[in-house]
Amino acid sequence: MAEHKFTNALISAQSPYLIQHAHNPVNWIEWSDEIIDRAKLEDKLILVSIGYSSCHWCHVMAHECFENEETAAIMNAHFICVKIDREERPDIDQIYMDALQLITGQGGWPLNMITLPDGRPLHGGTYFPKDKWENVLLSLHKFYEEKKEEAYQFATQLSNGIRKLDVFEKGENDTNQFQTLMGLLNKWKQQFDLVWGGYNWSPKFPLPNQWELFIGIHHITNDEIFAEAVQTTLHKMYEGGIFDHLAGGFARYSTDSFWKVPHFEKMLYDNAQLMGTYAMAAKYFKEPVFEKVVAHMHQFISEFMTAPKGGFYSALDADSEGIEGKYYVWEFEELHEVLEENAPLFCDYFSVTKEGNWEEGNILFRTKTIEDLSDFFQLTAKEIEQKINHCRKLLLLERSKRIAPGLDDKIICSWNALMIKGYAQAHIYLPAYNYIEQATNAIESLLAWCLEGKQVFRIYKNGKKSIAGFAEDYACLIDALITLYEAGASEKYCLLAQELMDECIKQFWDESSGLFFFTSAQQQILITRKIEANDDVIPASNSILAKCLNRLSYYFERNDYSQMQANMIVTILPKMKKFPNGYSNWMQLIAQEEKGFKQLILKGSEAINWKNNLSKSFQYNTVILIHTEESKIPLMASKNGTVEKTTAWLCTNKTCSAPIYTIEALQKILV
């Protein structure tokens, strides 16, 4: 066992990110409610350093600064030093990220914030090299010692600015929200990169929620630019270096405009959402290659991100052996040695060059099609695919001998729920693959630890649950439960979703704004109770909850739910008009309401056959529900009892049609 010169309080932490810093010479402690009291008593500034285990620049700053004894001595002498895993404590991260953006106009991780003893931010930044970091620390300490009143005045102004970000002024009730939406999207679509996919800037993030929005918009409007943008983006991401062509799975983002050079960490939340998006696109565009992507992602999640007892791990690091991407890149000679006579074909297919296509070697990415190779190598498409697959297996075996990137093995409630939803969506759009089995196994594993009564917990690690759930955890869990039910799983999941929604309203609802706080009243309130409304790489908790309220209002005949979500959209519209790109999930809800949410209820001996037949075509914003039991869900309960022959009811706008007795009649009205 390795001996360490230093060991600090993080040695007792559960978070892999915090444990990475347990042997720094810095006297790190975890965040707790008592830190403010201690800082006030000692009259010391608090140094809050926030990151996550797979963050490359977090590692760089740790090596340069936090592992250096001279730097640590300055930190220990003048500050109470707190390390935070942003994935465990997104509530604190949100507060200080807002502060950072107000101070610098930029955000990112590592997030290093110096605060007053009461926790109000004073100064911050992201990555600092050693000399600059030491200068910042000494200057701030001197400023606080000599000009304390000025420090408090600045922190007061900054904290007021943070609070203003959560002020929502309800707009006027827009009588044609969809028309307003299309006006915003007609400007947004000018940003599409129709050659390489994504948008006309870099870096490029996958942002799956946005591409799902555009599929829906194309379905409603038939504006071909949205279809072209989605197909181009999904193809180019899959062909690019952002996708792991050996093991499957997507990296967090591309540093360039071509999806070539990724930031190599792989996050569960990206892959969870991309699974649903690719499945949806496979069905909508009838693209077999998108089905293939979903299968690759399933293989990756199963082999690398699934815990032995169920549940999904959080992330794989960008670095191995201290070098970003080292695990994933290849030398030209190395590939020829492993692949022998197949190396020229493989290297041509994956853009490998003798000099290296990247500064650290060769990233596998595709710019040629199988047809291109077929002509050049005089092989059939089937022969090329067989050879490429054989090469993949050889290289996976070879890569397994390398030192692998670190695994963040904590299990996060909201991210697991996103993955469960991804599997449920995959089953809805690609039922032949039976992905619902993975979804139901995973939800049972999640519910076994994350629920205590109706209280949701966020983190599971080493057999222990911790940290009361935030609105994000409730939102994603409720969404997963509803989607599971809509995919054909037991109605018990939908019933639980409704119970958790009522609990979520009880803990997080804010009457004054008509939105949900991110934290409950029982959790520590630092400067302000944040309201998360912007859709980012993960949709906002408020937009997810608005969509869930909408869905549940139909199933449970809850007009109060319907009114709540309608009012939420009215509140959000003014901000949406100012920054459309940050509200894609809200836009999905507006688009779905324009088209009308349909519930098709099937009952009788041929119900499953009817569903299988109808599922062959894409059904936008329509769920097909099989009535197989005496239901407790009000929408379904009205159809309890036996039927003499297979019967269907098509319900929309909270009204169900007369019974329909033939699939032909049903197909006509579903067109």
| Other CB atoms within 10 A of residue 402 CB | 12
- Supply the pLDDT for residue 651: 95
* Contact of 611 with 624, CB cutoff 8 Å: yes
- Supply the pLDDT for residue 179: 95
24 within a domain of the structure (yes/no): yes
Strand arrangement, sheet containing 598-603: 622-626, 598-603, 647-652, 655-656
pLDDT higher than 70, residue 1: no
643 within a domain of the structure (yes/no): yes
169 within a domain of the structure (yes/no): no
Report the range of poorest mean pLDDT among 182-196, 360-374, 386-400, 471-485.
360-374
Mean local confidence (pLDDT), 281-296: 97
Domain boundary among 369, 401, 433: 401
Q: For the chain, what is the domain count?
A: 4
CA distances from 548 to 339, 554, 603, 613 (A): 50, 10, 25, 28
Tell me, yes or no, whether 569 and 661 share the same domain. no
Tell me, yes or no, whether 474 and 577 share the same domain. yes
pLDDT higher than 60, residue 87: yes
Report the range of poorest mean pLDDT among 232-236, 306-310, 350-354.
306-310
Give the chain's mean pLDDT. Answer: 95
Tell me, yes or no, whether 185 and 237 share the same domain. yes
CB-count exposure of residue 32 (10 Å: 0-12, 13-18, 19+): exposed
For tokens 């990415």, what's the residue?
365
CA distance linking residue 114 with residue 81, whole number of Å: 9
Tell me, yes or no, whether 435 and 565 share the same domain. yes
4 within a domain of the structure (yes/no): no
Tell me, yes or no, whether 91 and 208 share the same domain. no
CATH number of the domain enclosing 233? 1.50.10.10
- At 485 the three-state DSSP class reads helix
Tell me, yes or no, whether 333 and 414 share the same domain. no
284 within a domain of the structure (yes/no): yes
- Supply the pLDDT for residue 218: 97
Tell me, yes or no, whether 492 and 612 share the same domain. no
Which one, of 620, 629, 628, 559, lies nearest residue 593 by Cα?
A: 620
Residue 129's φ and ψ, nearest 5 degrees, are -65, 160
171 within a domain of the structure (yes/no): no
Domain boundary among 117, 136, 164: 164
CA distance linking residue 228 with residue 429, whole number of Å: 20
- Supply the pLDDT for residue 2: 65
Higher pLDDT, 320 or 209: 209
Report the range of poorest mean pLDDT among 115-119, 164-168, 333-337, 488-492.
164-168
| % of the chain surpassing 70 pLDDT | 100
Mean local confidence (pLDDT), 96-116: 94
Mean local confidence (pLDDT), 513-529: 90
CA distance linking residue 234 with residue 243, whole number of Å: 11
Tell me, yes or no, whether 27 and 106 share the same domain. yes
Domain boundary among 340, 372, 401: 401
Tell me, yes or no, whether 17 and 159 share the same domain. yes
pLDDT higher than 80, residue 171: no
CA distance linking residue 560 with residue 566, whole number of Å: 10
3 within a domain of the structure (yes/no): no
Range of the domain at 348: 328-401
Mean local confidence (pLDDT), 382-392: 95
- Supply the pLDDT for residue 262: 95
Paired with 83 in beta bridges are: 30, 49
CATH number of the domain enclosing 132? 3.40.30.10
Tell me, yes or no, whether 459 and 562 share the same domain. yes
- Supply the pLDDT for residue 46: 97
| Other CB atoms within 10 A of residue 135 CB | 12
- Supply the pLDDT for residue 525: 81
| Other CB atoms within 10 A of residue 399 CB | 16
pLDDT, tens digit, 9 for 90 and up, residues 440-484: 999 999 999 999 999 999 999 999 999 999 999 999 999 999 999
Tell me, yes or no, whether 86 and 223 share the same domain. no
pLDDT, tens digit, 9 for 90 and up, residues 389-402: 999 999 999 999 99
pLDDT higher than 70, residue 217: yes
- Supply the pLDDT for residue 322: 87
Tell me, yes or no, whether 144 and 243 share the same domain. no
Mean local confidence (pLDDT), 360-370: 93
> CA angle, 323 as apex, 320 and 329 as ends, to 5°?
80
pLDDT, tens digit, 9 for 90 and up, residues 136-153: 999 999 999 999 999 999
Mean local confidence (pLDDT), 64-73: 98
578 within a domain of the structure (yes/no): yes
